[in-house]
């Protein structure tokens, strides 16, 4: 019998574009079906394996692909990020909750395993903000957070009630150099590298002292695949695991960049919407449950990530890509 295929939704997005290519490298190009909603995929993504446009808020479009390709695992990444969600709460609910609900229903019907990211956004101002425990108060104040908590509950429900193999990670801010993030609160930590290379300076929309958990993309991709490959018997949590790799404030990342970009400077022009979202999120999470249950062990800290980001983006800039 042919091996079941893997479906990635949101494959054109920040995480999806890199996760899809890594899944294709590991499991074979033809085994990984990439999907997006509107944005044109890169040439590499489109030509290395199957690609389709679907709309996760229309269940029949998800079911059709799952049936046609005999999908066994869904990486459901299509989502609206926190700042965009705050500007358009209705859209955030429809995509983040409606889309996940549809994917869970399809997973139930066709017997698929399902990965979906939760976020540090699933926490709120009444959560302990330092060493945030795996199981704790979750009363977020952003619409994004409301959709993430709802999604975690749905994953728990589908696992307990229907036996769907649901797995998830509470991602922190993800820093990457292939596809830009689309409207999150932690985006400053990506933009700062592009601006450092282009202009040697950056204006930050979060204020000094705003500490948040962060992670470099190679660890984010590895974590998702590692969790999906983990022994199901070892997984104590089916909603989402806390995972982090580093925690820093804007001035820390600026200081690290300045070690490589002489004369680099940063000033601040605070965006009140994103600042208030960031203030409601943890400073640093406790990810010991992920370490114990399935061996989470990120490789990149701030120094190693900064070195790699500046090298990769420096090469892209020299090629005239931005």
Contact residues toward ligand AKB (CB under 6 A) are 81-82, 119-121, 144, 171-173, 181, 184-186
Nearer to ligand AKB, 130 or 292 (CB): 130
Nearer to ligand AKB, 218 or 314 (CB): 218
Q: What is the DSSP letter of 20?
A: H
Cα–Cα separations (whole angstroms), residue 113 to 159, 224, 238: 10, 13, 11
* Residue whose Cβ sits closest to ligand AKB: 184
What tokens appear for 176 in the block? 């990457």
Contact 146, 140 (CB under 8 A): yes
Shortest CB 5 distance to ligand AKB, Å: 28
Dihedral angle computed from the Cα positions of residues 151, 152, 157 and 162, in that order, rounded to the nearest 10 degrees: 80
Shortest CB 234 distance to ligand AKB, Å: 26
Neighbour order of strands in the sheet with 173-175: 173-175, 212-216, 246-248
Annotated catalytic residue 75: no
Contact 149, 115 (CB under 8 A): no
Q: What is the DSSP letter of 288?
A: H
Shortest CB 121 distance to ligand AKB, Å: 5
Contact 201, 192 (CB under 8 A): no
Rg, the chain, Cα only: 19
What tokens appear for 238 in the block? 């089916």
Shortest CB 147 distance to ligand AKB, Å: 11
CA distance 181 to 190: 8
Contact 238, 159 (CB under 8 A): yes
CA distance 80 to 278: 16
Give the residue from 139, 149, 296, 314 showing the smallest Cα distance to 226. Answer: 296
Contact 212, 170 (CB under 8 A): no
Nearer to ligand AKB, 72 or 282 (CB): 282
What tokens appear for 223 in the block? 């974590």
Nearer to ligand AKB, 114 or 220 (CB): 220
Nearer to ligand AKB, 89 or 200 (CB): 89
Shortest CB 18 distance to ligand AKB, Å: 14
Shortest CB 82 distance to ligand AKB, Å: 3
Active-site option among 69, 75, 144, 188: 144
Nearer to ligand AKB, 249 or 258 (CB): 249
Residues with catalytic function: 144
């Amino acid at each position: 019998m042919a091996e079941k295929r893997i479906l990635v939704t949101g494959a054109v997005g920040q995480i999806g574009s890199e996760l899809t290519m890594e899944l294709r490298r590991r499991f074979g190009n033809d085994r990984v079906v990439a999907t997006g909603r509107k944005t044109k995929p890169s040439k590499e993504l489109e030509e290395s394996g199957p690609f389709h446009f679907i709309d996760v808020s229309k269940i029949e479009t998800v079911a059709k692909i799952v049936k046609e390709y005999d999908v066994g695992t869904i990486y459901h990444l299509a989502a609206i990020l926190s700042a965009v969600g705050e500007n358009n709460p209705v859209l955030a609910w429809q995509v983040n909750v409606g889309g996940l609900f549809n994917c869970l229903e399809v997973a139930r019907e066709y017997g698929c395993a399902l990965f979906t990211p939760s976020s540090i956004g699933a926490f709120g101002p009444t959560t302990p903000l330092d060493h945030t425990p795996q199981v704790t108060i979750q009363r977020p104040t952003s619409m994004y957070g409301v959709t993430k908590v709802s999604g975690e509950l749905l994953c728990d429900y589908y696992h307990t009630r229907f036996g769907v193999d649901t797995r998830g990670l509470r991602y922190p801010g993800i820093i990457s150099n292939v596809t830009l993030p689309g409207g999150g609160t932690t985006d400053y930590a990506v933009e700062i590298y592009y601006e450092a290379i282009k202009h040697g300076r950056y204006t930050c929309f979060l204020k000094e002292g705003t500490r948040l958990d962060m992670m470099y993309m190679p660890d984010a991709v590895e974590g998702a695949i590692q969790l999906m490959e983990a022994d199901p018997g070892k997984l104590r949590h089916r909603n989402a695991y806390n995972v982090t790799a580093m925690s820093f404030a804007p001035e820390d990342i600026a200081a690290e960049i300045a070690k490589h970009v002489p004369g680099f400077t940063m000033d601040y022009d605070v965006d009140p919407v994103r600042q208030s979202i960031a203030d409601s999120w943890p400073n640093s999470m406790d990810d010991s449950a992920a370490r114990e249950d399935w061996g989470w062990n990120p490789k990149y800290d701030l120094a190693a990530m900064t070195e790699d980001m500046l090298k990769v983006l420096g090469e892209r800039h020299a090629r005239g890509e931005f």
